[in-house]
Structure 1
Amino acid sequence: MFGEKYVPSQVNPILTHRHLGKDYPVYAVGHADMVETQNGDWWMVSLGKRRGINGECYIGRETFLSPVEIEEFKEVDGKESICLIVNPGGGIVPIKHKRPDLLWSPVAGTIELDDFITDKLNLEWVFLRTPMTDWYSLDNGKLVIDLRPEVASEFVNPSMIVRRVKEHKFGAFAKMKFSGNGDNEEAGIILYRSSQYYAMIMRRGEFIVVSSVMNGVKKDLATEQVSSDEVVLHIESDGRDITFFCGDKKQVKFDCSVPLEIISDKYQRSGGYGGTMMGMYATSNGKPSDNKVEFDCFSLKY
């Protein structure tokens, strides 16, 4: 219906948030596409990002939906053309609006708790770059991960299995069994935005260690000694700061926090479109190892 010749619209840009400022909760909109419903209505799907409490975004681009009207007009030379009116009367991606008149076909929600009882990883789990070897397995309700020399701060495929973080406020915990064979060996939970910016709570030797990596510089922020090989690690975000907990028989809150800003868009060279990931990470930090870590479960909720 749009014809063979592209003609610049008289109302360009048909969709922009550049004039809304930092108070509007959705920004960085673009990369749109069009879809027609069975009733002949047109809708636009576009990408955008939601701001957090302080105006920063800590999660990746998401898909937004806007109604579109197609209007005809005549050009100066008399030729007929059309233009697209996105969200008539608004011209922006609305926060809430009536959904398209389509059959309700909900999809299964994302899992909160994964106890690894299946023979394959749930499809929500992803890797940092493509694994070229088999360094993990599912065995009798356990996710077993090999410790390898690769680390999260390098452009490699580390022993990292993560899920996408979809909200600015979240809580996650993992139950694992691990005994390190040296201070170079560690395993636990990682909150990862890029090779230069992430936070971790890891078992290292007899200690649980909270660390942050800011602009590529790693700092250990707090430690807690534990006696059991089986521990529960926990991370919480209130939308401003990240707090950490651990315990074998009881939960211990670490006397430190990491500003959520560490994973904000402003530190990401590519604009932060990829978003934040969280999950399980194990490494022998550059040294060969035949050690492994067992994860009994992992939970991520909002």
Structure 2
Amino acid sequence: EPLYEGHRAVWIREVDAQTFEPVSDAVVAVNGGVDLSEQPVWIEGPHLYKVDGKYLLSAAEGGTGPQHSQVILIAKSPLGPFTPHPDNPILTQRDLPEDRAEPITSVGHADFTQDSEGNWWAVFLGTRPYQGNEYNTGRETFLMPVSWDNGIPRITKPGDVIPHVIDRPALPAQPKASLPLTGNFTYTDEFEEDVLPLHWLTVRIPAQKAYRLENGELVLEARADGVGSPGQPSFLARRQQHTNAEAYTEVSFVPGDNDDEAGIAAFQNDAAYYALGLSMSEDGKAIVRLRKRAGDATDKDGEIVAEVPAATPLGASLKLRIVSRGPEIDFYQAARGDDWEPVALGEDSTILSTEKAGGFVGTLLGVYAQSAGD
């Protein structure tokens, strides 16, 4: 039974290596965390290592926020009893000033490995907030070297600042990745393949595919389930990987109704998104509409932030663009080239942050199409 909010335990049992059937009863390996008297929260994500004849149980402690950390407990047997090491935590940033520049926070969920030269390394999760505990890029994977100190692997010492850049491990050069994963980059998808790359995501697993690839274009089926619907919207997107980022697309869409819409969206979840779409006014003119839902909206379509004449007439293609600037986000349209006209500037991007929208997987930037009819 939990003794307080966030009280958890790590259990361990022996299983058959072939069938995975239990061999022994489960026993408590860690109760609460390193020091139960201090009411630690959310002990989770355990890994077990055998090093120099001892068993090291490594687990995350402190929750997924700025108090996150990684701790080590030691035993002579894989079933324990496990004793917390006195030098915990082995990884955290909670002891640093909150107002430090360009912080990396909420670090934990570490796993260890060795390279071919015997050097130890750790991969772990962390976040890069743009202010306070607000970030739109979700939890990210970090890599750091590991030193051994007083019999345990150590990633950070008290007061250490996790760097944004380190020297890479001495590993053989690898083939260039098909999709950039780090640093500054520009990526364009011309939709010339037979299938969409795996970085394109849907909000939920669709019962029926809502798109097709055709002559270098992504063709979306305009569905009644729109962005923000609990159903299956016609929405394809990829993760936002930078605090300062932009995404744009060219839309060819002829709405048949004022509620028909197609465009580009910044989406955290059904209740937290911006949708910038090409639509039609009641008098039959092409318009660009920006909608926002910030968690407390009762209407799944959110509120209309801006509605302006489209830069192109009805039936002509239109370029739409989203620019993310940390806590602010801008929206543009263009008829051609880089002649961008603002639709709305300086909108609140923090509604997409984990702090306000919940979750920790980050914002999606993608394209959508929705229709009021069948």
Instruction: Provide the C-alpha distance between the structure 1 equivalents of 2:250 and 2:212, rounded to a whole number of angstroms.
Output: 16
Shift of 1:105: 2.2
Correspondent of 1:258 among 336, 339, 347:
347
Q: Which amino acid aligns with 1:210?
A: L
Instruction: Provide the C-alpha distance between the structure 2 equivalents of 1:255 and 1:46, rounded to a whole number of angstroms.
Output: 37
User: Would you tell me which structure has more strand in proportion to its own residues?
Assistant: 1
Range 55-64 or range 179-188, more displaced? 55-64
Instruction: Provide the C-alpha distance between the structure 2 equivalents of 1:196 and 1:268, rounded to a whole number of angstroms.
Output: 8
Matched, 1:8 2:84: yes
Name stretches of at least 5 consecutive residues in structure 2 with no aligned partner. 1-49, 56-77, 181-185, 281-285
Q: Per chain length, whose mean CA-contact separation is higher, i.e. which structure has more relative contact order (CA < 8 Å, sep 6+)? A: 1
CA contact (8 A) 1:22 1:55 kept: no
CA contact (8 A) 1:66 1:87 kept: no
- Relative to structure 1, is the Cα distance of residues 153 and 65 closer, same or farther in structure 2, using a 3 angstrom cutoff? same
- Relative to structure 1, is the Cα distance of residues 15 and 88 closer, same or farther in structure 2, using a 3 angstrom cutoff? closer
Equivalent position SS for 2:91: coil
Identity %: 29
Structure label with greater radius of gyration: 2
Shift of 1:189: 0.3
Q: 1:14-33, aligned counterparts within 5 Å?
A: 14-24=90-100, 25-33=103-111
Aligned to 2:265: 190
Equivalent position SS for 2:84: coil
Equivalent position SS for 1:127: coil
Instruction: Provide the C-alpha distance between the structure 2 equivalents of 1:99 and 1:256, rounded to a whole number of angstroms.
Output: 39
Instruction: Provide the C-alpha distance between the structure 2 equivalents of 1:138 and 1:266, rounded to a whole number of angstroms.
Output: 36
Correspondent of 2:176 among 93, 107, 116:
107
Shift of 1:238: 2.8
Aligned to 1:77: none
Instruction: Provide the C-alpha distance between the structure 1 equivalents of 2:146 and 2:215, rounded to a whole number of angstroms.
Output: 51
Correspondent of 1:245 among 329, 332, 339:
332
Aligned to 1:293: none
- Relative to structure 1, is the Cα distance of residues 215 and 88 closer, same or farther in structure 2, using a 3 angstrom cutoff? closer
Equivalent position SS for 1:117: coil
TM-score (norm: length of structure 1): 0.84
Instruction: Provide the C-alpha distance between the structure 2 equivalents of 1:101 and 1:88, rounded to a whole number of angstroms.
Output: 23
CA contact (8 A) 1:67 1:87 kept: no
Matched, 1:118 2:193: yes
TM-score (norm: length of structure 2): 0.68
Question: What is the total number of aligned residue pairs between the two structures?
Answer: 276
CA contact (8 A) 2:144 2:155 kept: yes
CA contact (8 A) 1:23 1:55 kept: no
Instruction: Provide the C-alpha distance between the structure 1 equivalents of 2:127 and 2:260, rounded to a whole number of angstroms.
Output: 37
Shift of 1:151: 2.5
